[in-house]
Amino acid sequence: MIIRRQRRAGIGRSRALIAALLTLALGAAGCAGSDPLADDGEPSRCAPDRLPLTQAGTLIIGTDTPAHEPWFEHDDPSNGQGFESAVAYAVAENLGFRRDQVSWVVAPLDTSYLPGKKPFDFDVNEISITPERLRSVSFSSGYYAVSQAVITMRTSPFVHTATVAELRRATLGAQEATTSLDFVNRVVKTQQAAVTFRDAEEAKAALLDGRIDGLVTDLPTAFALTAAEIPNSAIVGQFEPDGGSTEQLGLLLERGNPLVTCLNQALTELRSTGQLQRLEDTWLVDSSGVPRLG
């Protein structure tokens, strides 16, 4: 589930900080394109010219369209702005690619994790790693742990809901082919069947029109939606599936693609240096103040 956001007081970060972190994420062009050495002095198998790429010399990254905030900014994945765009370029730089050696292609969410040939080297699109999807595609290690949340209108009788059990009387909606929908069906188990939507615009309209009582989405998207997209809406609370295990978002690859080893290596380094956390702090809202539904 994805949707645009606008910053509000106390949530947005300064443009100066964003610019500084973008510089960090994208890196200087002169550092890219190198041929790093392995411990034995031989060229690394993760050097750009040794990677199993869809197109030699170019790292092709997929994501859906439109590309929504806070994951991407201004519907432009190539600008390096937004959490997932910044992560993608940080991974690319770590692998030795200059920014002009990165290309983006459209990869619809509902088809990205189907089996078969992929038009990208990896896809970044808030895609949760699940056992079902791992039967058809490969994933990198997780780059962000995300919880599900439910939002409703402030006038709704469910706005002060404190438990998952109370939500079972509600009519909940979620975008089709998402873990949000799976969460409603498998964990909340509402008395009425979940209402599904093709995209975020349909979901927003349904909540505004009163066709659903609440909308389930990932928590960063819930912040974006209540901050700017749906007036007089509120986050009821967040919950974690399966009694406490958070979902991990991963970079998606064609099943069996050996590139996953190098992506994991890059993510490990970005995590150990604190860069992943800095990008998260820049682009995503702190979720610690959102109540958890028991």
Identify the three-state secondary structure at position 6.
Answer: coil
Domain ranges in the chain are 15-144+249-283, 148-243
SS3 content of the chain, % helix, strand, coil (to 5): 35, 20, 45
Nearest to 147 by CA among 108, 112, 183: 183
Pick among 3.40.190.10, 3.40.47.10, 3.30.479.30, 3.40.50.1440: CATH of 15-144+249-283 = 3.40.190.10
Asked if 15-144+249-283 and 148-243 have one fold, the answer is yes
CATH architecture of 148-243: 3-Layer(aba) Sandwich (3.40)
Q: Are 167 and 237 in contact (CB under 8 A)?
A: no
Q: Are 213 and 174 in contact (CB under 8 A)?
A: no
Per-residue pLDDT of the chain in tens (294 residues, 90 and over written 9) = 433 333 333 334 443 343 343 333 333 333 333 444 455 445 589 999 999 999 999 999 999 998 888 999 999 999 999 999 999 999 999 999 999 999 999 999 889 999 999 999 999 999 999 999 999 999 999 999 988 999 999 999 999 999 999 999 999 999 998 899 998 998 899 999 999 998 888 999 999 999 999 999 999 999 989 998 899 999 999 986 554 456 899 999 999 999 999 999 999 999 999 999 999 999 998 887 899 988
- DSSP for 224-286? HIIIIISTTEEEEEEE-GGGTPPEEEEEEEETT-THHHHHHHHHHHHHHTTHHHHHHHHHS--
Question: Can you tell me the distance from the alpha carbon of 233 to that of 163, in angstroms, rounded to the nearest whole number?
Answer: 19
pLDDT in tens, 131-174: 999 999 999 999 999 889 999 999 999 999 999 999 999 999 99
Instruction: For 188-232, list the strands marked E by DSSP.
Output: 195-197, 214-218
